[in-house]
Structures are given as C-alpha cells and as structure tokens.
C-alpha cells in the first residue's frame, strides 16, 4: 500500500497512540475547533486532533498533523535526530527526485461528483480567527500546469468559501502559482487548478520544496516519501493528482473576475488585508468513501513548522555556494519560521558571514533578518543566538541593511501593510567573533564529569 494519511496515522497509533486525540463531542467549525486547538497549544499540547463530529458535516476533520517537529521528522524516518540531521536527509532526498507513476485508478476516485452534485459547505471547513471574512480551506495543495513547460506545479493557497461551488483565492506574488495564473489571465483564459486535501506529511514537506518553476514538485514529494508518488488523471481537468489523497476539488480560476477576499488571520500573527482577488469555480469533486478533511491552523505551529523546515533546506543549498563552511541553518518559530534565519558557520576569513547572509536573502525572499554565528553557538536556542549578538556584534560594522527589497505581501512591517505591499527592509548581522576578540571563560574538564557520580538521583 502506498504511503498516505492513513498509513501515517496507523504508524502513530502503533508507536505512540497517545499522540492522537479523538474528539467525539460535536464541535462548531465557527471558532469552536480552533478554540480547542489554541487552548491545547497554550498548554504545550501539540498532539494530532481528529474532530469526529463537526457541526453541519459528516466528514471528520484532522488537525495538528505538522504541529510537532519531531513528528514531522519521524514521518521520513528520523526518530531521534534534530533539525540539522533532518535538513541533511531532506536535502539528500530532494536532490534525487523520483518520477511520479501514473496509474489508472486510486482511492481518491472512489466517489466522483460533478458540478451541481456537491456543496463544498458540506465539508467541515473552519472559521479560524475573530476578524476572518469567512471559512477557509488552509491545507489544500493547488495543482496547476505551467503554460510553457507543461510541468505540474503544487502550492498551498488559501481559499475563502464564497458559496456552494466557489472560492476566493489569494495567489501570493512570490508564488509559482501566481506566475502560471498570470500567463493565462493575460490571454483571458481560465486556469485549471485541482485542490488536493489530505496526505502523508512527507508528501506535504516534499511538495512544498523550494524549486524552480520548471521542476515537477511531485517528483520531489516522491523522493521525500521514499517511493514514486502515484497519480491519477482528473475527471474534468487536464491535470494529474495524487491517487492516495483524501479528496480533490477540480476547479478553474475564472479570468478577469475579481471579488472581495479577506481579511484573514495569516502566518505573521496578523490579518492579511482585504483584496479584490480571483474567483475559483468547482467543476467536480473526487474523494475516498470515508474521506478525512485535513486542515492547517494558520499562524500556529501546524502551519509555521511545515514552512520553516522546507525553507531551511533551500537556504542551506544557496548559502553553501557563498560560504562552503556553513554547518547549520535554522528558521526559528520566534520569526514565524519565515522572517528570521540563524546560520552557523566555521569562519575562515572575515567577510564570510556577510556573504552567507546575502546568500540567504537570495534563497528566500520572505527573510528579513539573517543572523550569522560561530559554529559553537546552538542555533536551535534563541537565547544562545541572542548571547552571540550581545557579545560579538559591533553594530556599526557588523550589520548591513537592504531597503526597498522584495519580501512577503503579508509582512505587517512592510512599507504599506494595509495595501498588501511586499516591499521591506532586510538586515544582516555578523554575530561571529572578530580577530581581536578576548578569551571566553570556561571550566577545564567539565565535559568529562558525570553528575551521577556526585549527586543522587
């Protein structure tokens, strides 16, 4: 059996069944489900949650699949490693893509409903935050085909429910999907898009890989999963989708039409502004007979960690070109796993840290602060990085600034956040020791001491 959401849940239940919480009591999708998830988060509880009885829907909703870093790392076989080990393994698999396998049929086609036979509001779609403009699909992969290369492209785009068969969509200007849509829009043509919902975590982190527009992200997903991704043809679109997904919404982005979409609580922890955005029309729905609806709690670990993990690999590849002695890269949650990057390197000559920072800015346009430290600093510990800044930085010479640079259109510190501006200022910080740095205090022999020899447990 191919890897999918079911096999992942089965593995978790077999190894650590306490990692899954099943809520049988009826829960309101209007702030009720997200209220429970936030309450759990504040108590440090990031277990997978399966809502078995969402008000108004017969479908169970599954949340928090990606909320725990160890669980995500375990999904590709790293049981006791750290982020650095994960990035190394992820990068290795990413560099050896596996071509997808087209099959004639699959579980995602057990139920097929065409236009008029399905109301999307039957799904347990959540309303997340107080000022959200409506209910949103947040963990659906939008699959499109590039007009020029004909390669399939996958990305997650938020979808605001407009009616029984329509959504508003936000296609970020930095996303590949935006380029594909813009090519069709220029010709006045609709853009085919299949929304894939529910799959194995390795599929999610593989399909979110930072690649060029010409790379088939399904081949990366297969490499990360460790097996070729099986695909089936859509019912009404000239697209292929994962055969073992939970459900697929086959849609078109209508040309020229714009409607109000948002505000919506986004990953920075603030609301993305209302915009006049494209409209998506559903043509068909295919799914499993007993399909799960998978969602992602935007602005919280389930959403943040997934992005930070895949970005780190792309940054590492690019930064190593500028500075080959880079040892580790980390996107901390304190920077929303997008705006801040820590880089640890073995500095050979002065100037390398700034080159590394510039390489990181090239790799990821959303980055605003890159802090480069010596490789004795634990970049998984924010306090250790701040200590390096406090004791190893001379601000006038060890920092640099890039104004009016391309960033995230959702950045609340952009030059015009209410207008959805993507123009930001970026800062690089060299927090490494300099040539005339004094000796630091240490106790010789400390590493060899076993406390159990001196202190009773």
Which residue in this structure is represented by tokens 């601000």? 395
Q: Output phi, psi for 275, to 5 deg.
A: -140, 165
Backbone angles phi, psi at 221, to 5 degrees: -60, -45
- 303: CB partners within 8 A, 6+ apart: 66, 138, 267, 296, 297
Helix (H, G, I), strand (E, B) or coil at 451: helix
Contact indicator for 86, 305 with CB cutoff of 8 Å = no
Phi, psi of 180 (to 5 degrees): -65, -50
Residue with tokens 């992942």: 8
* Nearest by Cα to 242 from 193, 203, 216: 203
| 223, 96 Cβ separation under 8 angstroms | yes
Q: Which of 262, 264, 239, 259 is nearest to 250 (CA)?
A: 239
Distance CA 54, CA 39 (A): 18
**444: CB partners within 8 A, 6+ apart:** none
The phi-psi region of residue 262 (left if phi > 0; otherwise alpha if psi is between -120 and 50; otherwise beta) is: left
pLDDT in tens for each of the 457 residues of the chain? 799 999 999 999 998 999 999 999 999 999 999 999 999 999 999 999 999 999 999 999 999 999 999 999 999 999 888 888 888 899 899 999 999 999 999 999 999 999 889 999 999 999 999 999 999 999 999 999 999 999 999 999 999 999 999 999 999 887 899 999 999 999 999 999 999 999 999 999 999 988 888 889 999 999 999 999 999 999 999 999 999 999 999 999 999 999 999 999 999 999 999 999 999 999 999 999 999 999 999 999 999 988 888 888 889 999 999 899 999 999 999 999 999 999 999 999 999 999 999 999 999 999 999 999 999 999 999 999 999 999 999 999 999 999 999 999 889 999 999 888 889 999 999 999 998 899 999 999 999 999 999 999 8
* Residue 142 to residue 415: CA distance in whole angstroms: 29
In 245-325, DSSP assigns E strands to: 247-261, 264-265, 271-272, 275-287, 293-294
List the beta bridge partners of residue 143: 154, 194
Look at the chain and count its residues: 457
Decide if 214 contacts 194 (C-beta within 8 A): no
Kindly report each contact of residues 383-390 with a partner whose C-beta sits within 8 Å and lies 24 or more positions away, as own/partner: 385/342, 385/431, 388/431, 388/432, 389/429, 389/431
Going along the chain from its start, the domains and CATH numbers come out as: 5-295 (2.30.110.10), 302-431 (3.40.1670.10)
Asked whether the beta carbons of 288 and 108 are under 8 A apart, the reply is yes
The residue written with tokens 């930064």 in the block is: 319
pLDDT for res 44: 95
């Amino acid at each position: 059996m191919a890897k999918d959401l079911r096999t992942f849940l089965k593995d978790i239940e077999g190894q650590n069944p306490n990692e899954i919480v099943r809520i049988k009591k009826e829960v309101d999708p209007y702030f009720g489900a997200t209220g429970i998830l936030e309450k759990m988060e504040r108590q440090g509880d990031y277990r997978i949650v399966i809502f078995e009885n969402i008000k108004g829907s017969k479908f169970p909703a599954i949340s928090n699949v990606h909320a725990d870093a160890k669980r995500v790392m375990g999904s590709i076989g790293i049981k006791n490693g750290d982020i650095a080990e994960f990035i190394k393994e992820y990068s290795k698999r990413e560099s050896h893509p596996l071509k997808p396998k087209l099959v004639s049929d699959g579980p995602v086609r057990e139920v097929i409903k065409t236009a008029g036979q399905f109301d999307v509001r039957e799904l347990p779609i959540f309303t997340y935050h107080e000022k959200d403009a409506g209910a949103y699909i947040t963990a659906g992969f939008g699959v499109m085909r590039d007009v020029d290369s004909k390669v399939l492209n996958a990305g997650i785009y938020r979808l605001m429910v407009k009616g029984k068969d329509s959504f508003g969509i936000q296609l970020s200007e930095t996303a590949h999907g935006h380029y594909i849509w813009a090519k069709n829009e220029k010709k006045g043509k609709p853009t085919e898009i299949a929304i894939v919902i529910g799959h194995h975590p390795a599929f999610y982190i593989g399909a979110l890989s930072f690649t060029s527009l010409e790379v088939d992200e399904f081949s990366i997903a297969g490499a990360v999963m460790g097996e070729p991704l099986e695909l089936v043809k859509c019912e009404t679109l000239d697209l292929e989708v994962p055969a073992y997904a939970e459900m697929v919404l086959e849609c078109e982005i209508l040309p020229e039409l714009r409607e109000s979409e948002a505000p919506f609580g986004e990953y920075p922890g603030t609301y993305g502004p209302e915009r006049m955005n494209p409209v998506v029309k559903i043509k068909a729905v295919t799914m499993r007979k007993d399909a799960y609806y998978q969602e992602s709690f935007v602005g919280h670990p389930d959403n943040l960690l997934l992005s930070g993990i895949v970005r780190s690999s792309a940054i590492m590849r690019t930064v190593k070109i500028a500075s080959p002695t880079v040892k580790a890269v980390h996107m901390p949650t304190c920077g929303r796993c997008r705006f801040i990057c820590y880089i640890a390197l073995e500095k050979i000559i002065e100037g390398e840290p700034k080159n590394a920072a510039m390489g990181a800015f090239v790799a990821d346009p959303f980055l605003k602060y890159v802090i480069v430290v010596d490789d004795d600093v634990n970049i998984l510990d924010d306090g250790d990085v701040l200590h390096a800044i406090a004791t190893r930085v001379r601000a006038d010479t060890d920092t640099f600034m890039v104004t009016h640079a391309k960033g995230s259109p959702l950045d609340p510190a952009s030059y015009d956040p209410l207008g959805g501006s993507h123009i930001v200022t970026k800062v690089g910080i060299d927090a490494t020791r300099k040539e005339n740095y004094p000796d630091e205090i240490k106790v010789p022999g400390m590493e060899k001491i076993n406390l159990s020899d001196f202190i009773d447990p």
